[in-house]
Amino acid sequence: MKIRMYKFINILILLLLLYNQGIGQKDSLAYVHVISKVDQGQIVLRWAPSTSIAWHLGITKGYSIERAVNKQGDSTMGEFVMIEPQRLPWPKQRWQKEQLATYDNYCIIAAELLYGKGTSVTANTKLLQRADEFQNKYTYAMMSADFSAQAADALGLSFTDKDVKPGNVYIYRIKSLASHENYIIEPATVVCYPSMNSQLIPPSLNQIKPMDRAVKLLWDREQSPSQYVAYYVEKSADGVHYNRLNDVPYLSGDNIGNDEFKQFHVYIDSVDQNYKPYYYRLVGLSPFGEESLPGEYEKSFGVDLTPPTKPEGLKSEQQGPGTVKLSWIFPKDENDAIAGFLIGRSAHVLDSFTNITTTILPPDSREFIDESANPLKPNFYFVTAIDTAGNYNISVSHYAHLIDSIPPAPPVDVSGTVDTNGVVLLKWSANSEPDILGYEVHFSNQSDHVFAALTDAPIPHNHYSDTIMIRTLTEHIYYKIVAVDRNNNYSSYSKMLELERPDVVRPAIALISDFAKTEKGVLLKWNNSSSKDVAGHSIYRTEYPERGEWVQVFTTSDKNLSVWVDENIKPMSTYYYKVHAFDEVNLLSNEGNIVKVITSAAQLDVRNLSLQSKVVDKQVHLSWKALPGVRKYIVYKKVADGKYYTLASTVSNVFIDHQLDLNSTYTLRCIDHNGVYSSFSNEANIIN
């Protein structure tokens, strides 16, 4: 018995690793999960704790089972009644030596898990190892309960209610008696209808794939996921008599790194010879430890997947402009084992090969002539040997060198630019020849001089960047492009490209020679720049030169103009002026002299000042309407000889002249708060 159990447990170790993936426990969330089935007028309950801690505590505490009974169709809920106060695992006495023969292997495993000694605890025992053993025991227990109804009963994880009647609805509540305030284990509830017998749907194979001396079986992980916890695989040579391939229930892991294993359970069966048909079917194992009926069979066989010998020694010989003779080595004694050869050709060494043989070459072929080789492209070849089962083996690719003496066409659409840093960007249209290796760039400072190569070797792209001197006496630079193919054939020159060097020399400075304040504004005069390429001059103005915020207030392209009046000014303001020359590429001259101008104050407007004069009692009474911003008024009298006399300075808007002279006239001037005098007002005649 010990030897049988030892071998059986070794077989289960791999299954344990796979089964442990599906439990996915979290010790922080403990609960009881319960399922049920109706079988011949009885209700069978199966439950399991969600964590290893909950299971370990439940071994000694057990579980309680309560039941509520309702009439089918009745919406009222009956009260729960205790039908099993404490469901415990079998006591140790039930596993006496003389009784072991009546128990299945999983029931015996349950005894070891419940009452076995386990690993001894010593000072050197690692905590992690103890935790793994604790978890593994829990996994073994759940697996044994799933695989065997006897083991589930022995572990105290099942219950059969025989007191059931059709027409009733039974609600069961399973509680772990190990639950307490420091570790709550949530109870579980399940509803059962005795009138609905539980039936297992036979599992079916989804795919079956022939392999070399093997057959791969695949079935969907999602088919009835709650019905089956494992499977048996059965095989038959005649479709009638089946043998079970696995003694231990089978399931495959889903984390092997293969997408096929994530979607399917996978089982590979070895066969003794290829092309001999076999029949395969599945039997499902439910969580109640019961087996389903066998599913529908699928028929398959092993196939020959061994490739033939690889062709070796592939060589080529050019026999014309587009003709290549190929030869290779292949064992003669394998001619009968192959169907023949195929020839592939590509312009690339490792991919994009195309079959150039219209029909498969005979098995005794060792030569082939390709009459469609392209001398303008690389020609890589390989030979494929194919056997009668469709297996193939490909030779190492071989490069066939073809002589090509035809030069490419000269490049076209050559264009370019030169920036102010002397960086030249050239571009042209790429050649259409398939064997183009690259391009060479040539230059000269004179169109009639010899052109020198800029590139040490052909460049693969159709653009190029050059750097040239800008401050030089030659105003232009010239370029030509040459195309080169893979056989070092050179095209003739492209059309010559002429580029103008950019102007980076500033014009000579212009200087302000004079300025004046006029009634219209500030009059500026300047000396124009002496440079030949001057395009015009611009005047700049600012009120804050220390900030460097200069504003262009005037520009002219008239090279003879050297006078301008700035009318857009404010009175009593300080302005700074400078002049810059600019050339045809808008390069500005350096800064010349800067002049400072302080504008005059604005005069009061007395054009609308109405001065009234009347004779009263042989005196002249003058009056006028007061103007804003006036500090005082100056009264003038103009006599017959045209001379003006100052009569008074007053802040009032009235004045009396005690000396009557009917031939005289009067006028005013205003003085503002800045002391600025206005012009004379209109003259007023004496009204008698």
Structure tokens at 615: 């004779």
- pLDDT average, residue stretch 486-514: 90
pLDDT value of residue 678: 82
Residues 440 and 484 in one domain: yes
The answer to whether the CB of 144 falls within 8 A of the CB of 106 is yes
Which CATH number is 458's domain given?
2.60.40.10
Residue 405 lies in a domain: no
Residues 330 and 419 in one domain: no
* Domain C-terminal end among 132, 162, 192: 192
Residue 199 lies in a domain: no
Residue 407 lies in a domain: no
pLDDT value of residue 225: 54
- Examine the pLDDT at 13 and tell me if it is beyond 50: no
Per-residue pLDDT of 125-141, as tens digits, reads 565 666 678 888 999 99
Residues 537 and 594 in one domain: yes
Residues 566 and 653 in one domain: no
- Examine the pLDDT at 211 and tell me if it is beyond 70: yes
Per-residue pLDDT of 67-80, as tens digits, reads 999 988 787 778 99
Find which of 25-29, 39-43, 394-398 is predicted with most confidence, using mean pLDDT: 394-398
* Domain C-terminal end among 367, 400, 433: 400
pLDDT value of residue 130: 66
Neighbour tally for 88: CB within 10 Å: 14
* Domain C-terminal end among 573, 598, 623: 598
- Residue 209 confidence class, pLDDT cut points 50, 70, 90: very high
Q: For the chain, give the mean pLDDT.
A: 88
- pLDDT average, residue stretch 68-96: 89
Residues 588 and 681 in one domain: no
- Examine the pLDDT at 624 and tell me if it is beyond 50: yes
- Examine the pLDDT at 17 and tell me if it is beyond 80: no
Residues 450 and 430 in one domain: yes
Residue 307 lies in a domain: no
Residue span of the structural domain in which 637 resides: 611-685
Per-residue pLDDT of 642-669, as tens digits, reads 898 899 999 999 999 998 888 899 999 9
- Residue 315 confidence class, pLDDT cut points 50, 70, 90: very high
pLDDT value of residue 223: 67
Environment class of residue 8 by beta-carbon count within 10 Å: exposed (0-12), middle (13-18) or buried (19+)? Answer: middle
Neighbour tally for 350: CB within 10 Å: 8
- pLDDT average, residue stretch 240-267: 85
Number of structural domains (the chain) is: 6
Residues 526 and 650 in one domain: no
Residues 394 and 474 in one domain: no
Residues 78 and 124 in one domain: yes
Residue 439 lies in a domain: yes
The 3 state secondary structure assigned to 394-442 is ECCCEEECCCCCCCCCCCCCCEEEECCCCEEEEECCCCCCCCEEEEEEE
By mean pLDDT, which of 93-97, 149-153, 223-227, 458-462 is the weakest?
A: 223-227
Residues 538 and 668 in one domain: no
The DSSP string of 140-175 is HHHHHHHH-HHHHHHTT-EEEE----TTEEEEEEEE
pLDDT value of residue 8: 46
Residue 606 lies in a domain: no
Count the helix, strand and coil residues of the chain and give each as a percent rounded to the nearest 5.
Answer: 15, 40, 45
pLDDT value of residue 311: 96
Residues 486 and 425 in one domain: yes
CA angle 293, 238, 294 (to 5 degrees): 5
pLDDT value of residue 494: 96
Residues 248 and 363 in one domain: no
- Examine the pLDDT at 348 and tell me if it is beyond 60: yes
- Examine the pLDDT at 2 and tell me if it is beyond 60: no
Residue 322 lies in a domain: yes
Structure tokens at 305: 């997947």
CA angle 104, 105, 109 (to 5 degrees): 120
Residue 605 lies in a domain: no
- Examine the pLDDT at 14 and tell me if it is beyond 70: no
